[in-house]
Amino acid sequence: MLVGMEAQASRAPRPARGTELELTIDSLAFGGAGVARLDGYVVFVADGMPGDRVRAVVGKSKRAYAEARVVEVLAPGPERIAPVADHPGAPWQVLPYERQLEVKQSQVQDALRRIGRLDQFTLEPIVPAVQQWRYRNKLEYSFGTDEAGRLVCGFHVPGRWDEIVEISDCLLASEPANAAREEVVGWCRAEGLSAYDRRTGEGFLRNLVVREGRRTGQLQVRLVTSEGRLDTAGLIDAVGAPSLLWTRMSGVGETTQGGETELLAGRDRLDEELLGMRVRISPQAFFQTNTEMAEQLYGLAREYADLSGYERVYDLYCGIGTIGLTLSPRAAELWGLELVEEAVADAIANARLNEIDNANFFVGDVRLALRDLVAEAGSPDVLVVDPPRAGLSQKIVRRMIEASPKRIVYVSCNPTTLAPNAAQLVESGYVLRQVRPVDMFPQTPHIECVAVLDRG
């Protein structure tokens, strides 16, 4: 059933799941979906660009809005350009890059003003990406089977957990990283290995993780499988990567974290350089996936921290210590807090590797451990926080306020969660001074930004 906007508006404003609609996209929402309206009823349309006239099928229908996906572009909008590659990980490649930057800049401003109700701050121009393509230092691929039963390796079709788009040349990865992936896939096909079937739980090959030290040129390949046998000697001979690992998973979930990992060849750590500092990264540790733009992001955090050499600095959600360690040469002392034990071990090792002796890292849940840290180390002069996409709970923000830092540098990967966190801090007496977006992920709707708040 195909329903036009006018006909639909005159009957029922809420379309049922599976309904096909003809829509005109007005704008882009945070997260990347196009926004269309049926007599005021909002429809978020994946893959829709401003000005597009599209045919879309409804996937979810709720009282206030529906979610749909484009099945055909009937008339492209004036801004739409031809895609460079068939790549599910680059949904905004049909939008000119300068326009991508404009949208991201406006979305940060909109989130802070509409969600946080904040307006007394300076929004600085977005930092553009150094490279618009081939910028990722890590990619996680999934194995699947095509209609002919052939083994494929690529990415999930958006909105589908059981269908894989095969990638032959991933334009988000470097040529050496692509070559390493192709070596593994070719060997797996020659061995007749089967893909894990996410519907039945049968099969062997799950994921392939390829990681690269952009500054060092090192490559790390990690094959993720179900429990079973693997000709490890044959894989080592076939793959030229200096670091090769095998992770065996027993659960049914789609994840590359956890499981039992065995080092097959080379070293289990990947070396990288960042702002003149050398870091070693564990196979499952978090590290910003765009090295060049991580330098821009952390450089901005260092600028906003404005350290003079006498400050006590806290680094919350410190991970392997990258942000804090780049600040430590300009601080009197650094205290990092992170929940993941392996990451803290990496942070301590990275401090030693760079001969940094004023850094202290501890394992702990920020929500529970921040008070103890203040009791042991004293209140921070500067507090740096880099939370996950969900942002900070109100309780964690209250703990930060209790710690009473003079300055807070908030590194955010989600302006819609930065906004309420910043509003809570402002309500307690802090002043939001500056915010600057950083384009870590060109061709995607993801936005990073750094904000600085001073105690009033």
Whole-angstrom distance between the N-terminal and C-terminal Cα of the chain? 59
Nearest-angstrom CA–CA distance, 368 and 285:
22
The distance from CA 220 to its chain's CA centroid, rounded to whole angstroms, is 19
* 245 Rama class: left (phi>0) / alpha (psi -120 to 50) / beta: beta
- Asked if 337 and 356 count as a contact pair (C-beta separation under 8 A), the reply is no
Tokens of 429: 């007496």
Residues carrying an active site annotation: 413
Say which residue the tokens 């996950």 belong to: 388
**CA dist list (Å): 36 to 48, 50, 149, 446:** 9, 9, 39, 21
Contact 194, 203 (CB under 8 A): yes
d(CA 244, CA 372): 40
Give the number of other Cβ atoms within 10 Å of residue 406's Cβ: 13
- Supply angle C-alpha 27, 30, 35, rounded to 5: 30
**Nearest-5° Cα angle at 417, 100 to 402:** 140
> Contact at 8 Å (CB) between 381 and 335?
no
Are 136 and 173 within 8 A, CB to CB?
yes
Query: In sequence order, what DSSP letters do the residues of 77-108 get, joined into one string?
Result: -TT----SS--TT-GGGGS-HHHHHHHHHHHH
Contact status, residue 327 vs residue 384, Cβ threshold 8 Å = yes
Non-local (6+) Cβ contacts of 456 within 8 A are 429, 430, 431
Cross-strand partners of 280: 271
Q: Which of helix, strand or coil describes residue 4? A: coil
Q: Within 13 A of 33's CA, how many CA atoms are on the CB side?
A: 17
DSSP H helix total and E strand total for the chain: 10, 24
